[in-house]
Structure 1
Amino acid sequence: MISLAAFPIITKWPAQHPERLQLYSLATPNGVKVSIMLEEVGLAYEAHKVSFDTQDQLSPEFLSLNPNNKIPAIIDPNGPGGEPLALFESGAILIYLAEKTGQLLPQAPAARYETLQWLMFQMAGIGPMFGQVGFFNKFAGKAYEDKRPRDRYAAEARRLLGVLEKHLLGRTWIMGDEYSIADIATFPWIRNLIGFYESGDLVGITDFPNVLRALDGFVARPAVIRGLNIPS
């Protein structure tokens, strides 16, 4: 039996199935990247909700797993060499799970690096910029009388959507016909921008039909439907 007793986080979120991959997350755009990935590749896992309402992410137990106090994070009891592996950062987790399962990341070197390129595009651009749009359009920033910060981030979000729109012309997914971790990273953020952040009109989302088409295909996938609600 694999023991996870060495990980302090287990004291706050006990593992009912310690032989399974342990996911510590919340159903945010970054969080659902990993739950969707796990549903897509079919790995057995156990999900634990890290509640922002009670500041679970700042607890000593969670910080022992991710000192950067962000979700998601995982412990794989069957990591490299059969040893447990703790990992944080959603992009790193996607790469790890793709390599562990041999799924959703091309094996051919050129296609592999192109996929990682678009994964980094999401992590460095889409995620941070869309998050700022959400702050200034829906959360505390919406009360600011000066709308220049909001408009700056909305313009950058629109620019990033334009890059993706052009790239998706004639393509089903970011990598063409093959669905990949680049899609899993990107489309939860676009969905959030339009839905939860209520910013579709602000960025002119209807000007990006290729993005909307791919988004529709993404949210219709059974694994995505499941993963978007994990942890419940």
Structure 2
Amino acid sequence: MIKFYYHPSPNPAKVALFLEESGLPYELVPVDTRKGEQHAPAFTAINPNAKTPALVDGDATVFDSNAILLYLAEKTGQFLPANTPEARAQMYSWLMFVATGIGPYAGQAVHFKHYAPEPKDYAVNRYDFEAWRHWNIVDAHLAQYRYMLGDNYTLVDMAVWGWARAVPFVLGADAWDKLPNVKRLFDEINSRPAAQRAEAIKARHTFKSELDDETRKALFPQNARLATGA
């Protein structure tokens, strides 16, 4: 059976949605990143990047959320576009756009807005600008199409949904007013039973919520280098 290493954050949410949509049986393995469990040798043996999610399927190990989506889609034959060069080119392009644009810039915007010490004006300006730029590209694309790849719901929509859940936290409380097409897609996916089951996963386990010294050390190990001067 598939082992799915999970934390209730955007990247694992994408994978949870695919697993619930596809009906694949899986065992959920919680990884509490605020306790530093992602740095434990047992987990880094699976994911050397020490990030959730990760997936073990027999002899196959996959440790990037977008790679996991592709792996599961190819394994099941579900939620893929037509097997043509044109359709697959669009899938790879938009999936990598989420992987290299939406995720990193949204994540850095969250870090500098909500967690980084002062002074941080330059960093907030840069990452907020880039997060908005990427989401505006998605919103303009969705003004033309129902889903990211046209008329069919695919793994790319799941990848977008994972991060769309965090849009108000990343961009501000009024962000949905400025991204109506992303909000439309987000609401449609949220109405799906699989999305509701994916969201309910986080209630099965108690994950740490406090931002204390243990959490700061686990999430921001670069600060330890500053403290030691190493």
Whether the TM-score (by the shorter chain) exceeds 0.5 is: yes
1:1-232 map, 5 Å? 20-77=1-58, 84-109=59-84, 110-138=86-114, 140-141=115-116, 143-194=117-168, 197=169, 199-201=171-173, 204-231=175-202, 232=204
TM-score norm. by structure 1 comes to 0.82
Q: CA deviation at 1:76?
A: 0.8
Q: CA deviation at 1:190?
A: 1.8
Identity across matched positions, percent: 38
Q: CA deviation at 1:146?
A: 4.0
Instruction: State which drifts further: 34-43 or 214-223.
Output: 214-223
Instruction: State which drifts further: 219-228 or 38-47.
Output: 219-228
Q: CA deviation at 1:40?
A: 0.6
List runs of 5+ in structure 2 lacking aligned partners.
205-230
List runs of 5+ in structure 1 lacking aligned partners.
1-19, 78-83
TM-score norm. by structure 2 comes to 0.82
Q: C-alpha distance in 2, partners of 1:146/1:116?
A: 34
Indicate the SS of the match to 1:224: helix
Q: 2:95 is matched by which residue type in structure 1?
A: L
Q: C-alpha distance in 2, partners of 1:229/1:116?
A: 29
Query: Using CA pairs below 8 Å that are at least 6 residues apart, which structure has the higher relative contact order?
Result: 2
Q: CA deviation at 1:105?
A: 1.0
Alpha-carbon RMSD across the aligned residues, in angstroms, is 1.6
Q: C-alpha distance in 2, partners of 1:146/1:65?
A: 34
Q: How many residues align?
A: 202
